[in-house]
Amino acid sequence: MLLDIQPEPKIGLGVINVEGDGEHQELCRLLNRLTPGLLPREVFHAIARVMVTTTFVVVPLVQRRGRTLALLPRRSSNDLYYPSMLNVPGTIIRANDEDLAAVYERLVQAEIPGVSAKQAPVFVDKVYDLIVRGREISLIHWVEVDDADDLGDFVDVRNLPTDVVPTDRSRIMIAVDHFEKHKAEAGSL
């Protein structure tokens, strides 16, 4: 199969012409028509099944009376894989995102609007996982939430509810362990 890459002034490699199997040619022709960024839901899920997706995950945390609490928004009732379950705020990193700060801002606006963080997200680790839609690598972060925020949707990380998305449990604890060590070190300075 020959690849003829024709540069495009915008993002990535540009349009790729493929010689060979007719089905592959048709698939590439259709994919070349897509604009980098938000994909139609069905297209995204079809691609996610055969590719590794990359997500930016942020665990909003706060400490109160010796306990660490996490903000876990509830997914919509029509969510394809985890309807009405609690989850860690996260988003796919899109081809048209300028940088990770833009990804974070998009995540905050979409999943935790109105929540004010004390600082920029702190990168903790990466997780390579098999989730329901396919393979995923997640960049795990935490943010400390402003003490003035309403804690109504926060849960105790040592007593997570049963309806938390199963793969999010380890992500939460990775962020919590790092956050608690950071807080302990800051307290001893």
Q: Specify whether 59 is located in the same domain as 122.
A: yes
Answer whether 136's CB lies under 8 Å from 126's CB: no
Please provide the DSSP assignment of 66-91 as one string.
TEEEEE-PBPPTT-SSSTT-B---EE
Q: Specify whether 28 is located in the same domain as 111.
A: no
pLDDT tens-place string over residues 19-33: 667 888 888 888 888
Q: Specify whether 29 is located in the same domain as 80.
A: no
Output the CA torsion 151→152→153→154 (10° steps): 40
Q: Specify whether 96 is located in the same domain as 129.
A: yes
Q: How many residues does the chain have?
A: 189
pLDDT tens-place string over residues 122-135: 999 999 998 888 89
Q: Specify whether 26 is located in the same domain as 91.
A: no
* Full residue range of the structural domain in which residue 95 is found: 47-187
Q: Which phi-psi region, left, alpha or beta, contains residue 117 (left: φ > 0; alpha: ψ -120 to 50)? A: beta
Q: Specify whether 56 is located in the same domain as 120.
A: yes
pLDDT at 29 (0 to 100): 87
Q: Specify whether 54 is located in the same domain as 20.
A: no
Model pTM?
Answer: 0.84
